[in-house]
Structure 1
Amino acid sequence: MKKLLLITMLLVIIVLAACNSEDSAEQGEDNKEEDVEEVNSEDRDEQRDDDAENKEEKENLDQKEEQADKEEVVEEIEPQYQMTDQWTFTPIEDGDPEVVLLTIDDVPDGQALEMAETLKELDASAIFFVNGIFMENEKDREIIKQIHDMGFAIGNHTYSHHNLQDLSEEEQYEEIISLNELIEEVIGEKPKFFRAPHGANTDYASELVKEEGMLLMNWTYGYDYFEPYMEAEKLQEAMISGKAPEIDVPNSLLRDGANLLMHDREWTNDALEDIVEGLREQGYEMLDPESILTPQDEE
């Protein structure tokens, strides 16, 4: 009987020991899992920190590269051309003489953005002369900003497009200065070029324009405001040849450094690509306005 009791007690002890051992093992596994989870959590935190740091470094690098690109874009071009008394342009030193300047007046009056896009695709430079009366709403101001951001020069064509010779000096001042201020507000810089409506300048306006650091210019020829050339095909032929026999211009006015006048008009927009390609076929390239010497460069 005693022997049976001893055997029973021994079995109970063995069972209890086995249970304790199993509990300890389970506890150990739980602790191990907790330790692993804690390590994994630390790893994840470290990875997140690394990712955040890498992202910040990448953003800083991107910003530096973007700033470098902007600095490269805004790097000033040394003036290579100067305007003559005939409103044409001649090389200062080693510039290519076979160039013409494209200018577009009365902007933005419906076609300007599309004209800028056409010129951009053709890699052809131009000056867009704007009027304040066409910039009185946010949509049109945004068009001017877009044209400027595409790399085109924005010029002053007066606020209201009045003939300056019919205005007092105070009115002339307002026409020019108020538009300068508006242009600077929209594109972040003052214009470098001025063209009076109808080419009608005054001594007062000429001096004011110079004081403002702008280059006053007229043009060599332009035909899209004459009724016989308010049609794309005829205008194209006239601008490429320099001739306009229907308005008594039988001889070509196209020459090295010519200053070509166009307007924000539907027929001009339709003819623009052919005009640029036709001029290039004759050996002319479009003059970059940034390479023109202005009073701002002389300050």
Structure 2
Amino acid sequence: MVIHALLAASLALTSVPASQAQVDCARVKCLALTFDDGPGATTPALLKTLKQAGAKATFFLVGKQVEKRPKVAAQAVAEGHAIGNHTYSHASLPTLLDDEILTELDSTQEIIEEATGRRPVLFRPPYGHTDERVLGIADETELAQIMWTGTTLDWQLRDAKKIKAAVLRLAKRDGVILMHDTVPATVKAMPGILKELKKRGYHLVTVTTLLRGKGPKSGVSYF
């Protein structure tokens, strides 16, 4: 039990996957692909595609989804991706009371840590709904808030060609692109997206790698 606890603590402090520790985004063109709302039924297929391409991503996990698919969450961590907290029930946080917000975040921390051995240091508010009160409570939970530089609206498009076009339009150096691993069309589009992004010279990294050692810091909002 002591060894397990020490291992979990070590993993929790390791926010940058070892495979990306040598990527210097100050020297090369980096881009972070992020996926919300999972793990879902299509997440394993996405993980396979990312692995084949040698690409890393960041997954913002919903607590109740991790309860359904703990092994998929663990696989994402094992394969070098970063993970974040996306609340337990995908609630709009500013509409909740303080203790309800804390429960949404804290319970998800516990669920993710139990499934993966890693306690997230990142969180993303569902729908992008946030305010200073939410950020303050995230600070209490030792979480940094991660927003994005562009969203594909893939949940609305639900068309692989249109989603690919959206990603390529939004891609820029040090960008953070929002997608959903629960949208089948997104997963279908990903091989072509990764191929084209690499052709354009992008290194596909986690959000933590993109921060270049300057974060994440709890209670701070990025991007």
TM-score bucket of the superposed structures, by smaller chain: 0.7 to 0.9
Is it true that 1:278 corresponds to 2:196 in the alignment?
yes
| Identical residues among aligned pairs (%) | 29
Q: How does 1:68-87 map to 2 (within 5 A)?
A: none
Structure 1 distance, partners of 2:199, 2:17, is 31
**C-alpha displacement of 1:96:** 2.7
What secondary structure, in the 3-state scheme, does the structure 1 residue paired with 2:51 have?
helix
Partner of 1:295: 217
Q: How does 1:22-171 map to 2 (within 5 A)?
A: 95-96=26-27, 98-137=29-68, 140-171=69-100
Q: Which of residues 102, 111, 115 is equivalent to 1:182? A: 111
Partner of 2:8: none
Runs of 4+ in 1 over 4 A off after TM superposition: 73-81
Partner of 2:176: 259
**C-alpha displacement of 1:132:** 1.2
Amino acid at match of 1:288: T
Structure 2 distance, partners of 1:173, 1:96, is 39
Amino acid at match of 2:37: D
**C-alpha displacement of 1:241:** 2.2
Structure 1 distance, partners of 2:67, 2:159, is 29
Q: 1:168 to 1:97 in 2, by over 3 A?
A: farther
**C-alpha displacement of 1:112:** 1.0
**C-alpha displacement of 1:163:** 0.5
**1:172–1:205 CA contact under 8 A, matched in 2:** yes
**1 or 2 for the larger relative contact order (CA 8 Å, sep ≥6)?**
2
Asked which structure has the greater CA Rg, the reply is 1
**C-alpha displacement of 1:80:** 7.8
Partner of 2:163: 235
What secondary structure, in the 3-state scheme, does the structure 1 residue paired with 2:178 have?
strand
Structure 2 distance, partners of 1:108, 1:151, is 16
**1:156–1:176 CA contact under 8 A, matched in 2:** yes
Structure 2 distance, partners of 1:189, 1:260, is 23
Partner of 1:84: none
Count of matched residue pairs: 199
Q: 1:255 to 1:76 in 2, by over 3 A?
A: closer
**2:179–2:186 CA contact under 8 A, matched in 1:** yes
- Give structure 2 stretches of 5+ with no counterpart: 1-10, 219-223
**1:77–1:290 CA contact under 8 A, matched in 2:** no
CA RMSD of aligned residues (A): 2.5
**C-alpha displacement of 1:219:** 0.9
Structure 1 distance, partners of 2:204, 2:53, is 10
What secondary structure, in the 3-state scheme, does the structure 1 residue paired with 2:176 have?
strand
Q: 1:107 to 1:263 in 2, by over 3 A?
A: same
**1:213–1:294 CA contact under 8 A, matched in 2:** no
- Give structure 1 stretches of 5+ with no counterpart: 1-69, 82-90, 243-253
Larger helix fraction of residues:
1
Amino acid at match of 1:96: R
TM-score (norm 2): 0.80
Q: 1:161 to 1:282 in 2, by over 3 A?
A: same
What secondary structure, in the 3-state scheme, does the structure 1 residue paired with 2:118 have?
coil
Structure 2 distance, partners of 1:96, 1:215, is 25
